[in-house]
Chain A
Amino acid sequence: MTAAGHDPAAAASLITGAVTKRYDGRTVLDAATLQVRAGAIHALVGENGAGKSTLVKIVAGLVRPDAGAIAVAPGQRVGLVPQHGALVPTLTVVENAVLGREPGRAGVLALAPVADALRALGAAHGLAVDPWARAGALSVGEQQRAEIVIALWRGASLLILDEPTAVLAPVEVDGLFAVLRGVAAAGGAVVLVTHKLDEVVAIADDLTVLRAGRVVRHDVGVAGHLDATTIARAMVGGEPPPRATAPPPPAATAAIALAVRGLHVADATGAGVHGVDLALRAGELVGVAGVEGNGQRALVEAIAGLRRPGAGRIELGGVDVTGATVAARLAAGLGHVAEDRHAMGLVLDASIEDNVALGREAELGAGLGGWILGRRARRALADAIVRDLDVRPPDPTLPARALSGGNQQKIVVGRELTRPALRALVAAQPTRGVDLGAQALIHARLRDAAGRGVAVLLVSADLDELLGLCHRVVVLHRGRLVGEVVGDALRADGVRGRLGALMTGAAAAEEAA
């Protein structure tokens, strides 16, 4: 580790300060301190809503603190690489780089020198980037590399990366970390906002833990002597909830509840699926691993009925539902926890009650074939979900918008799992951006559902989640299932490496053989 040799006392602070920030009277940051040393990789960790993003936005000058200030050392420039890409997809990488500071004379752009500079910078840092590629045509990993190179080209010596590894395969993560070490070693510093604790253990020199807007832990020069459990305790402020384990596997004779046969789904961004075969028995929990953008979304939306497949069939309980509407599939026993709960899972302005009844109006109706809304039935269901999943605050009349991410997701999971005659549940990233407590609860409910005979297809970017919870994990790469790990092999040593290799396609040929 190149940066580990720094003497903590000797290195100058590039970022230092303490800030307080309130939104609508709610304290998001409470005298939160941040001190980043030159040459260090500084991990900023905390649960969702702990204030990490607000803190780095203040550092980057995007948000003004209510009290206090964060000073950046003279001569240093901050470059923020946000969690969700900030490139304009219709522009090329070099056009994105010069956006707002277009070089040239009399309105005529002079892009070639910039492109050369970007290429040279990329080569120097091991970040291969084609400056003339349209941003929208790049994979998420390539976009991220482009954003880093652009930040460096703009003179950033302090790189801040917000959850950079969410979209990367394990191998790509290693590559990214090598680049970050290079940036830090060149006299700058890197702030890494993350919730993946094994990454913190692997790369961080310094550590700041935020909990509910306060810094609860600040360590300097910890590379090599940190462990994930200690950090998790600091994040949660107690013992982290135990991870759910896989329920007993279903009998080999259990009926097939959900099957996908020869499925082809076209996708404008190239993230379609090309010939997927997958069958889930009743009570089976099957995970779909893969780097994001390898067809997960197309697979899930085709099963849910939101996209028409180009070829292939989808069967629910042995019945072909390929041509059925969404409503017909839901009525036939499908549940769908959509990937994007804000856009697809919830009507944010509607109450918890209304959201619980979303699409289930007929089933919860009071009269005229369910045309009149059944207020009592809706309230009863909302109350039951709020109680069962510990939704806070426990008031079903509140708009979904007023809930935290974890509580919003509980509403979605609760609605889908309480469908009558549920046979199969497709859950896409059900615990993304959800605090650890809600995560544990959602895992437990998925496990319970499998235990009572529901086939669960769990699509997740979180390998730990898949390895802990599933009976079987399949790997999706470029729209094809390239491998499968079953049963005890999921708990064996080296399984991550194997899945990681499958996810990047490195082991595809070998597994397919």
Chain B
Amino acid sequence: MKPATAAAVRREAAIATVALLVAMAAGSALILAIGQSPARVWGALLARTLGDAGGVAQVLFKATPLLFTGLAVAIALRAGLFNIGVEGQLVAGLLACGVVGGALPAATPGLIAVPLCLLAAATAGGALGAATGALRAWRGSHEVIVGILLNAIVGAVVLWLGDAYLFVGESTRTADVVDGARLATIGPAGTALNTAAPLALAAAAAIAWLFARTRTGARWRAVGAAPDAAACAGGGVRRSMLTAMTLSGAIAGLAAAHYVLGYKYCYEDGVGRGAGFLGIAVALLGRGHPGGVVAAALLLGLLSHGGLVVSDLVPKELFDVLTAVIILAVAASTPMVRRRGLAALTRGARRAGLSGVAADGGAP
């Protein structure tokens, strides 16, 4: 690995580690306040999640949707955009997936049904992302405001469409998807872990490649890091915003693979709610890198499942608090680690006998 990149990776890892330690300290204080022993709770948490195959499978199950939504947020971040609309894009994807999956002829084979369902999910999420990106690029509307508004609109429209046309009877769910569209469960019996998990990992790998090796990725980064420089270089700033938001929305919609095709086998109102917002946390904790997003999704999956398995000792809400503390700690530790990291970089360069390495990021 190139030295500058290795240093950058170490720096990002340091930020996440600091955040984790801070969160563990805060968590321990809370556990003490409840009157429990931190050692006992942490020990039980690890033993009951990672101690057996079933626990590991549940952690992976919890992590899978977060990986999709985290990747979605990371793609937008790469282009300097904050996709808070992931939540709405996710819901739109779930509904589209459920409706298409339920409407297919019963005998549709998996090789056709699954891609069709996923295409519907990605299209629904991607369309919302594209609308947000286009409004930002051509009309200057801030993507955060648009995203928040679209989240509310999508929530309401989905309920209206569902009640009026799509839901079964008096329920708030669509018809079951055809058998061919169902993803196989993997792992030990009793867990809902399904093939959406490897699909999410493949998506992470593909996005890492897209970031590192393609013109699209290079332009997103230029637009995100230095929009004026990207404009000067003819880098298509508006198009980059549009493509990044479109792909971001599409990936958010793909979380339907997990919820609809792999778990519930239908769209059910309320399922998956919140995973979009948690995706923001995952992307920030993963520092916007696909590899980091995988690690962050696993961590939040661990905390989420862990909260359930130690609920006899502490309330599971404690682990929601911990998730929030981790996010705050990441935000707070970034400048500190960056300063230290840059110092290390300049020290290293000087040791290598190089002159002219500016200390504060180049001469003004």
Contact = CB atoms under 8 A, between A and B. Distances in A.
Given A23-B360, A358-B222, A327 B234 contact: yes
B4 A351 contact: yes
A5 interface: no
Interface string B296-323: 0000000000000000000000000000
Interface in B331-364: 342-343, 345-347, 349-350, 352, 354-364
Contact of B354 (A326, A395, A399): A395
A345 B222 CA distance: 11
Contacts of B357: 26, 393, 398, 402-403
Contact of A345 (B213, B229, B234, B235): B229
Nearest to A304: B232
Given A343-B226, A373-B214, A397-B2, A359 B234 contact: yes
Interface in B188-243: 213-219, 221-222, 225-226, 228-236
Contact of B4 (A28, A304, A338, A398): A398
Contact of A348 (B4, B217, B226, B349): B226
Nearest to B217: A373
A26 B213 CA distance: 35
A1 B5 CA distance: 57
Given A330-B234, A402-B358, A397 B4 contact: yes
Contact of A343 (B228, B233, B345, B358): B228
Contacts of B2: 351, 397
A32 interface: no
Interface string A351-373: 10010011111100100001111
Interface string B56-100: 000000000000000000000000000000000000000000000
A345 B359 CA distance: 20
A195 interface: no
B270 interface: no
A397 to B, nearest CB: 4
B342 A393 contact: no
Contacts of B345: 402
A433 B4 CA distance: 26
Contact of B363 (A48, A343, A344): A48
Given A343-B226, A343-B229, A24 B362 contact: no
Contact of A329 (B217, B234, B343): B234
B3 interface: yes
Interface in A322-343: 325-331, 336, 338, 340, 342-343
B336 to A, nearest CB: 14
A349 interface: yes
Nearest to A337: B232
B363 A306 contact: no
A211 B4 CA distance: 29
A400 interface: yes
A28 B363 contact: no
B3 to A, nearest CB: 7
Interface centre among B221, B345, B362 (most CB of A within 10 A): B362
A348 B214 contact: no
A342 B218 contact: no
Contact of A350 (B3, B222, B232, B360): B222
At the interface, is chain B mostly helix, strand, loop or mixed?
Answer: helix
B213 A373 contact: yes
Given A373-B218, A393-B357, A402-B357, A358 B233 contact: yes
Contact of A405 (B215, B229, B352, B363): B363
A25 B346 contact: yes
A347 B221 contact: yes
B360 to A, nearest CB: 6
B355 A392 contact: yes
Nearest to B5: A397
A49 interface: yes
Contacts of B229: 338, 343-347, 358
Given A304-B232, A344-B228, A401 B218 contact: no
Interface string A409-438: 000000000000000000000000100000
Contacts of A400: 362
Contact of B359 (A26, A305, A365): A26
A60 B63 CA distance: 54
Contact of B362 (A305, A342, A358, A359): A342
Nearest to B355: A392
Interface string A302-332: 0011100000000000000000011111110
A92 interface: no
A349 B215 contact: no
B214 to A, nearest CB: 6
Interface residues of B, number: 43
Contact of A347 (B225, B354, B355): B225
Contacts of B231: 306, 326, 344
Nearest to A358: B233
A53 B358 CA distance: 15
A407 interface: yes
Nearest to A353: B2
A181 B250 CA distance: 67
Contacts of B218: 354, 357-358, 361, 373
A357 B350 CA distance: 27
Residue among B219, B229, B235, B345 facing the most chain A CB atoms (10 A cut-off): B229
A343 B358 CA distance: 17
Interface string A37-72: 000000000001100010000000000000000000
B232 A338 contact: yes
A404 interface: yes
Contacts of B356: 392-393, 403-404, 407
Contact of B234 (A325, A354, A365, A371): A325
B343 A405 contact: no
Contact of A373 (B215, B222, B350): B215
B349 A402 contact: yes
Contacts of B214: 371-373
Contacts of A406: 363
A408 interface: yes
Contact of A404 (B4, B219, B226, B358): B358
Contacts of B355: 392-393
B83 to A, nearest CB: 21
- Most A C-beta atoms less than 10 A away, residue of B4, B216, B356: B356
Contacts of A344: 226, 228-229, 231-232
Given A342-B362, A373-B214, A350 B235 contact: no
20 contacts: A26-B359, A49-B363, A304-B232, A306-B231, A344-B232, A348-B226, A358-B235, A359-B230, A359-B233, A361-B215, A361-B218, A365-B215, A371-B214, A372-B213, A373-B214, A393-B356, A395-B354, A397-B2, A402-B361, A433-B364
The 9 lowest CB-CB distance pairs between A and B, nearest first, are: A359-B233, A327-B234, A23-B359, A405-B363, A393-B354, A326-B234, A361-B215, A24-B343, A347-B226
Interface of A: 23-26, 28, 48-49, 53, 304-306, 325-331, 336, 338, 340, 342-351, 354, 357-362, 365, 370-373, 392-393, 395, 397-408, 433
Given A344-B228, A392-B354, A398-B4, 14 more contacts: A24-B346, A326-B233, A326-B234, A328-B234, A340-B228, A344-B231, A345-B232, A347-B221, A350-B225, A361-B219, A372-B215, A401-B358, A403-B356, A433-B364
Interface of B: 2-5, 213-219, 221-222, 225-226, 228-236, 342-343, 345-347, 349-350, 352, 354-364
